[in-house]
Amino acid sequence: MIVDVLQRSGAPVGSQLLGTGGVIREFGEQQSVAVYLDGTTLPDEVYANLDFDDVVTRLTEAAGADSYHGYWPGPEETGLFFFGRDAEATFAALEAVLRQMPIGQNARVVIRATRESMQNRTVRIPRY
């Protein structure tokens, strides 16, 4: 029942139910795409004109309803986290929007289709 509830709540691929003896069961179907926005090296006007809520709205619309699962404000980057059935398809939708927004320049995007970190792919959105 626990796994079923977590699965319906959007658990990412490679989630684990742990017990005292270790992993009881691995589960999860959602793949992730993490978008790390450059918070330090873009022109000052990019940050001055930034509407963070609009950025989140536009990216969420591109990635699909209920895809956005929060953000992390770091010292040099801000991470936005999206989940869906197909990380590559989610990335393709996000990439198109990131390339149109000034804050999308130099964004680091981590595409994670599996739990194995060696299979992750990182893409850097170019500056213009």
Helix boundaries (H) for 9-127: 44-48, 52-63, 87-98
pLDDT in the model for residue 56: 98
User: Which CATH number fits the domain that encloses residue 106?
Assistant: 3.30.70
Instruction: Answer yes or no: is 4 within a domain.
Output: no
Quick one: average pLDDT of 64-81?
96
44-70 pLDDT, tens digit per residue, is 999 999 999 999 999 999 999 999 999
Instruction: Answer yes or no: is 93 within a domain.
Output: yes
Q: How many CB atoms lie within 10 A of CB 79?
A: 15
Instruction: Answer yes or no: is 88 within a domain.
Output: yes
pTM comes to 0.85
CA distance 33 to 35: 6
CA distance 44 to 14: 39
Residue 53, H or E segment? helix 52-63
Instruction: Answer yes or no: is 9 within a domain.
Output: no
The residue with tokens 């590559």 is: 88
Number of domains in the chain: 1
Supply the range of the domain harboring residue 119.
30-124
Instruction: Answer yes or no: is 23 within a domain.
Output: no
pLDDT in the model for residue 105: 98
Asked if residue 13 has pLDDT above 90, the reply is no
15-36 pLDDT, tens digit per residue, is 888 999 998 888 888 899 999 9
The CA-CA-CA angle for residues 101, 47, 82, to 5°, reads: 50
Asked if residue 115 has pLDDT above 80, the reply is no
85-114 pLDDT, tens digit per residue, is 999 999 999 999 999 999 999 999 999 887
* Cα Rg of the chain, angstroms: 16
